[in-house]
Structure 1
Amino acid sequence: MTDHRPALQLCHVGTIGAGGIESGYVIENVSFACEAGTWTALAGPAAAGKTSILRCAAGLDPVAAGEVRLAEGLRLSHIGLRPVTEQLATTGTLASVLDRLPAAAAEPLREALHRLDLWEERDTPVLDLTGHRQRAAAVAVAVADAPDVLLADDLTSGLPSSTAEAVLDLLRDLVDRQGLCVVASAANLASLERADAVVLLVEGRVVETQVMP
């Protein structure tokens, strides 16, 4: 861990369902804080509120109660909260992303492309890649954006096991080496194993927050 200030905080956050206040809250009174250089996993059954929390934190859905706080000066990015094709629509090729970056900033992306087995396809338009390789490319592009806080939903969904492991290992390395703050929904044990803390959700509420050993 590189910094003990909260990079991202949710303070008593609630969101209202599509049917308005009569339909009740989708998530209610959700509070937790994430430091720089840590990985927080959101766990729970389907419809527990994991995606809703991430969308609120990303500013994609309105907050009906409480507050989301991003530490001053920090940059936020997200993966999986919009369709991959939408996220990559203006990317062109991965090589073109590399060309736009200064040398120091390009190195993390170059490393990501090698680790995610995308280097040989760097000149292929990303929208021409197969579905699971587009998902891997979206991770690489998000890393290239050099965020301080990365929100991720269904991070490894649809990925072959080897690519899924590479994605998780890449982000864990960025947490440890560069102080990235990751907040990600956890769909499996592999995701939980990378986490420093787990926020357990049931029916839109936090029922437990556990710091991992």
Structure 2
Amino acid sequence: MTEQHPALRLRRVGTIGAGGVESGYAIENVSFVCEGGTWTALAGPARAGKTSVLRCAAGLDPVTAGEVRLAAGLRLAHVGLLPVAEQLATVGTLDSALGLLPAGSAEILRDALHRLGLWEERDVPVDDLTESLQRAAAVAVAVATTPDVLLADDLTHGLPPATAAAILDLLRDGVDRAGLCVVATAGDLASLERADAVVLLAEGRVVETRVMP
């Protein structure tokens, strides 16, 4: 990717809050870019606008000001922005997902299942998995579809530490080895440590953008 054509660009993005025009903007004048092969963390207090930024980037909420742009030909996936059950609605079992994917993608999913502790659960209907395993499964399936840009909200919130670390490491490998562009909310130090850049939000605005050492 070049600086002129980043994988994902938000330019002065805003969206009206749920209360309509009178309530002001849920987010306003949000701008940042994410290159392929980088991880951008969205940080800030509760109600800072992190989820709204991701929903606008994913096309789930209307953008009422500014623009969201993907580089030509790129594909986007999102994890954690919708209920996990909806994300996995077409997946009966993880083993059936393996059978439906092309060979290269199936190999990626097979590796992800091993790393996330899901291999022994591959024949279990996803509806019968625990919530934490369903969330891990959603990540594995999303990564296996080899998107160019992956958006994630509250990716590891409430997960056992080992599962959370495995998910973060899996995505970091996708960034480093496959050129994946990740934009994810960061609720803990472990998420920030994986990031290449941090966009700090407060009251729906960007207050600082920092490149991590």
Q: Which amino acid aligns with 1:64?
A: T
CA distance in 2, matches of 1:31, 1:156: 25
**SS of the residue 1:136 aligns to:** helix
Aligned to 1:141: 141
- Distance (Å, rounded) in 1 between the aligned partners of 2:157 and 2:76: 22
The residue type equivalent to 2:211 in the other structure is V
Q: CA RMSD of the aligned region, Å?
A: 0.7
The match for 1:208 is: 208
In terms of mean alpha carbon deviation, does 24-33 or 95-104 score higher?
95-104
- Name the counterpart of 2:69: 69
1:13-162 alignment to 2 at 5 Å?
A: 13-162=13-162
Please give the alpha-carbon distance, in whole angstroms, between the structure 2 residues aligned to 1:102 and 1:56: 30
CA shift digits 1:181-200 (9 cap, x unpaired): 00000000000000000000
The alignment status of 1:187 with 2:187, answered yes or no, reads yes
Structure 1 position 99, deviation (Å): 0.4
How many equivalent residue pairs? 211
Q: Which runs of 5+ in 2 are unaligned?
A: none
Q: Report if the CA contact (8 A) 1:89-1:127 is conserved.
A: no
- One-letter amino acid matched to 1:196: D
Structure 1 ranges of 4+ moved more than 3 A = none
The unaligned stretches of length 5 or more in structure 1 are none
Deviation at 1:105, TM superposition (A): 1.7
1:172 equivalent in structure 2: 172
TM score, norm. by length of structure 1? 0.97
Three-state SS of the structure 2 residue aligned to 1:72 is coil
Three-state SS of the structure 2 residue aligned to 1:31 is: strand
User: How far apart are the structure 1 equivalents of 2:88 and 2:104?
Assistant: 23
State the shift of 1:89 in Å. 1.6
In structure 1, give the amino acid aligned to 2:25.
Y
Can you list the C-alpha shifts for 1:151-194, whole angstroms capped at 9, x where unaligned?
00000012100000000000000100000000000000000000
Instruction: Output the CA distance in 1 between the equivalents of 2:165 and 2:54.
Output: 22
Q: Deviations over 1:92-147 (max 9, x none)?
A: 11111110112122111111000000001111111110111101011011112110
**TM-score, scaled to structure 2:** 0.97
Q: Distance in 1 between matches of 2:107 and 2:158?
A: 27
| CA–CA distance in structure 2, aligned partners of residues 158 and 142 of structure 1 | 20
